[in-house]
Structure formats: structure tokens, C-alpha cells
Structure 1
Amino acid sequence: MADPKKLAIKDFVYELPEERIAKFPLPERDQSRLLLYQKGQITDHTFTDLPALLPPHTLLVFNDTRVVQARLLLQKETGGLVEIFCLEPVAPHREVQLAMQQTGHSTWKCLVGNNKRWKSGPVRLYFEGGMLQAEREAQQEGHFLIRFTWEPAELTFAEVLERCGRLPLPPYLNRDLTPDDHTRYQTIYANQKGAVAAPTAGLHFTDRVLAALASQSIATAYLTLHVGAGTFKPVKSDTMETHEMHAEQLYISKRILERLLQQQGKPVIPVGTTSMRSLESIFWLGAKVLQQPELPPQELHVSQWQAYESINPPSATEALQALLDYMDRQRVDHLHASTQIIIAPGYTFRMCQGLVTNFHQPESTLLLLVSALIGENWRNVYRHALAHDYRFLSYGDSSLLLP
């Protein structure tokens, strides 16, 4: 078995010409192309073919996070602009769902553009019927703590972002926002506000495709992982051992755990790498509470290397049941956890039997995840996609990977 800590990211490189990056979405979501990789064979399809290509009795798992308008352009008293990009909440709530409902004030970890020109004092942004003010509280490694206050104070932070924020498009699109992006950079089932990047594998789904899934008796379920800006974080270290994975917030309902338990022995296929990371993290959280039944809820966290350091892990059934029992003891029907899981060659999948996903950047942790699932065949898949004019990255085409 490969030691994921010793993996060199330079081994996960391929040539991606700029013109192959899809800068804009197609006119119709479900008319994107779909590459099927199954048992070493590659065939070409259209995304509307997906329901017929999935194994019988599949449970398809979606991430229902919704992208928030996390980019803010505020003005200094001298008139210059400061760009602030909200990453994650710190106070009074660390939980994204609660922070979005916070009124009056909130402190967030943020990236700040033009910081050197922001000498002192607050910066402000006026919007129809109100004003948002930002002040730097501290500089930390790679980000700032920014305290926001706003008027009218009864507005929630979600409403403030809705009124004056901008949608954060992926940096590699390298273009300005268009009105179309506001609908097209959200999945049609996006529900829980809190992501700063879309779970892009879901962008291809339409009501027509969801109806076809139902007619093929393909079941669906939803969970929430708020995609962080770390999804675009380049791997700068030579080996994975010194690359720190970003943490993301995960919400797990009793309903999805019961559905996954019922599905054991039949295929579970996530839509997108975030759904896959969530499902595999659920397993490792179950393994953790099995060992520590009295674990405090605030310690529900999957560390980067937990999966590789575990000795005699439980079965998926045992892990799921352990989490359900834990919820009963805590008298809750939802769990809030965080995960830094890294899925790389050498990883043993506990919950997932395939993946629906787009085509990812060279030298990215997402490419490591694809390689963990289908091995060195990822090279054949990407070679085929490049040779057959597939479109790459967030607004690009899709693939169904069935190892």
C-alpha cells in the first residue's frame, strides 16, 4: 500500500491548456458531456444518460450547500477600495449556519486584498437601506480576523451578504462575474447557505435528470459540507506530509445516517468530491465515537491522517450505528462536525463505490482523490478527456467513475 504522506504532488501533473478550461457554463446544464470509466473501460456520453449508467439500486448522495456572496468591496475614508473575502466565522459562532443567522455583528477569518493600503480605521460599504463596517482585529497566519458590524442591526449576516456581497468565482476562471453566474454557479438543489465555492459536480443536474433518476429507481439523499476556499489551495510542499489540508464544516442528519445504514450492501455514489469527503468522514466520526462514547460534540473532528493511522477500524454498519447511538445519547437529530480528511492513493474507501465528478486541476488534492478511487487509470481518463475535447474545471464536463 502506498504511504500517502510520502506522495509527491509532482507525480500528479498533466498538461492542461488554458483553452480547455471552461470559462462559461453551457446554455443547458444537462447537455454537458459525461465520460464513463467502468472497470478500466472509457466511453463517451451526455449527462442526461447518467440515470441509465448508474448501477441498479444506487443511492446518489448530494451536497446541498449554497454559495454565499462572500466577496466584499469596502471603501476607506480616503476613497480607496479594500477587498475582503469571508472564509469562516469565529465569533460569536464558529458554526456557519448560526453565523449566517447572526444579527448586528460578527467576526470572521478573512483574506484581505490591498491590505498594505489599509493603514488604519474601519472601512465601510453602503447598500440600499444600510451600511456594513469592517475593522481588523488581528493578523494571523495567512488571514485576518475581521469584525463586521452593520445597520440595520436586525438584518442577519446572510441578508447583508445577499444585499452587498459578490459571488466568489474560482480564481482560475480569470474573468469578471456575469449576471448568469448568480444562478449557474449554484446547484438547483442548493439549500444551506455557507459555501464560498460551489460543489461543481452538482451543476449538471436539472429537474429533468432528477426525474429520470426517480424513474430508474435511483434513490437520492442530501448532506451538507460547506466548501471552503481551501479547495483552491495549491499544494506547495514536495510531499503530502507537510501539506496541511483545509478544514470544512459538515452537517449530518439522523435521516441520512439511517438511509446509509439501510443502503449497506448496495452502491453509494457521491455527487462530487465534497460529498465523497463527507461520506468517508462520517465513517471516521463513527469510528471515533465507537472508541470514545463520551466524546464532547465540539471534538467531532476528522484529522488529516486519522484514516491511515487507525488500527482495526469497524465496519461501515458499526460506524453508522455508533453515530446514531451517539445522537440518541446527545438527544439531537443533527451533528455539526469538521473534517480535514485527505483521500489519496493508499486510502481504503469505507462508504463510497463510485463518484460523479468534474475534471480537476493538475497537482491538486482533488486529483489525489480521483487516483485513490481508480488508481493510475486516472491518467488514461484525463488523456482521453483532453484528446476528445472535454471541458475542464468548475464549468466543465462531467465523469462517472466506477472502479
Structure 2
Amino acid sequence: MTEIKIPKSVTHSKIKSLQKSILSNIDNSGEVTMILPSEINNYKFSLLADLLQLTITLNKKIPISKIKFEFEINDKTLESLYGQEFIYPIISLLWNTASFVDLNNENVKGKLREFQNTFFFKMNSLSRLKGNKFILTNIDHFSNNKGLIKLLENSNGFNDNEEQIIDSVRNILMNYVLTFNKNNTEEIKNIVDDIGAIVYELSKNTYEWGKTDSLGIPISPSIRGVYLKFYNNKKENITKEYHKTPLEEYFNQNTLIERSLNNKGNIYYLEIMVFDSGVGFIEKFNNKGKLSDIDVLKRCLIKNQTSAISNLKSKKGLGLDRILNILNKTGFIKISTDKYCVYRNLIKDEYKPIDINKLEDLKLEDWNKNNFSFNESEKISGSYLSILYPFKNSN
């Protein structure tokens, strides 16, 4: 039996180290138990994406047969547990296939059920969640009325009312996520409609290409979602956490420091993360190998390249081009899919429209600084797109 323990102090580097070790050494014939903490001490940008990536990838390779909680399960601990953004998507992903036990190995699935239902109700009704964050998660292997967030989807398909989604995202940001500092809400008013449009566009994309494999066959289990989180972190802690990664360079840029570092040494920023447990950009869009993997990713960043054939009335196909334009000279975008983790620092490499026939002009960099060279064993399941928007300082 293989046990995978997620510590409270988990970080980006710890998840990557754990993933590499597990996928290299796991016994394919054994059972896999994932041990979850009661909380994660310190969320950082893309940490939730990393944790979901680990769980989804592992479960695709060797199904996780048991989730174990290293604490007593009761109403009080469950109330606290469901204040953690990682818990609902992970439990939902494994709900039909894994057992759930406490520290004494007693079955706790019945106790979890009530809190699962309550959390879904809060998401579906767009009610406040604990903390300066919000998550919307669709569960394709549940029934429509228990798995699909009505703002995004229903039994007839994706909600193609962009205005409604933009209005809801605006309310979520202003009332739940950006409540820490009034200056942040004032600053973001100018781009909140664009952020809502990003959520609309990317959620539509996950509906069109995140639910099925390259042959159009439904994937099960399948989860998809959007995550919004406000951060207030010390710059020294940020750069320490992301030492020797592209974010260390990003947060050390003079332009970023002058714009966002306040007199307390803090930087405020927003994360927008969209995720799915599908086959990923490369397998879905590679058109039988006519393009290189990196060119496939680049095409996804250009207008009118990612619209699928569906029953949706709108076929805007904005891909990620619109995001790059909004984040220009300010933000950061990170994409993990297949064997690749790429990024674009929009302060260092400013946005410019790209001709589809000149993909070499589109700047993408390798997060791992390995010249996009990977082993097949490093292939991940799902797609994870994390956007970082830093706020102006409020000195």
C-alpha cells in the first residue's frame, strides 16, 4: 500500500517533489491512500492548482482508493475543513470511487455528505464562503442538480449569457473577495468586466473541451472550476517561497515593486485560476501531430483558435488572447497541461497581437527552465491556468 501525506505546511516545491517521487516509485498493483490535513497553513499563488494537479494525475494513473483524515471528524472539525478550498473538489473527484476514513479508520462518508451538500448549495446560490476567496466547481459524474453550478451550466448545456456571468463575478469580487482594502475594489472597477468575461470565456472552454477525451468520449470522474482568491503577502515571504522560479524574478521587478509594494512590505494580488481534469491542450488540439506541442499551446493564446463546435450561440473564440491584453505590463499567467508548464511575464514581455502564421513571435517560457524538454513520465492530467493580477500599493 502507498500512502501520500499532504502536510499542513505544503508548498509548491513540496508538491512538485512529492509528485516526482510518487510517479517514479509507486507500485501499480497496490492501493493508494491520500492523507489530508485539517488545513493548509499558507496558500500561495497556484498552490491549489498544484494540489489538484497532483490528485487528478495520480488518480488517473493509479486510482486513489482511500482518503484518510489525520484528525477526528465531527461537526466542528468539518466546519473548519470545508473552509479550505482544496477539500470540496478533491472529495468530489473521489466520491464515487474511494472510501473516506478518520484517524481511527472509521468510515466518515456519511458525515461528509451533509457538508458536501451544504458547500454545493453555497456555491450554487453564490453565497459567501469563508475567507477572501470563492470557488465554483462543476462535478460531471454527479447528477446535474447536485453537480452543476447553475450560473455556468444546466441540463441544457453551458449558460451562454455572458452578461449574467460578468455581473455575478463582479458581485463575488466586490462583496466577498476584495473586501480587505477599499483601494483594491476601486482599482479593479475599471477591469472587473474584463475579469468576468475571462471567467465566462474560460469556463465555456472547459465545458467544450474539458469534459471529454480526444475522441469526444465523456471522462469520468471529471471536475472543472473557477477559483478567485485575494492575497496579502510579505514580499520577502513570496520571493522565498518562489526562490529559483519565474515568480521570484517577477516579484523582484522594479516596475512591480514601484507599483505594488506598500510601506509595510506587503503586496496585494488577485489569483484567477481555471482548472479541469480533462486530457489537456496538447492531446485535445494537436490535430494528429501536425503541430508541435508548444505551437499548440501558442495557438491557444491567439484569438479565434479555441472555439469548439457546439450548440452555443456565441463563438467568440477569444482563447487567452484577451487575458494577455488585460494583463499587459502588469500581470503574470501560468499554464500547466500535459508535459508542460509555461508562463508569460507581462511586465517583462509585453502583449502584442500575433499573426497565426508567425507563432515564433509569441513569447512563452518554460517554468522549469528546461527548454521544454520533458520525460513522458512527467505528463500530468488536466489543465490548470493561473492568472496573477497585482494591485497598486495603498501607502
Q: TM-score range by the shorter chain?
A: under 0.3
TM-score normalised per structure 1: 0.24
Max Rg structure: 1
TM-score normalised per structure 2: 0.25
Higher relative contact order (CA 8 A, sep 6+): 1
In terms of fraction of residues, the more strand-rich structure is 1
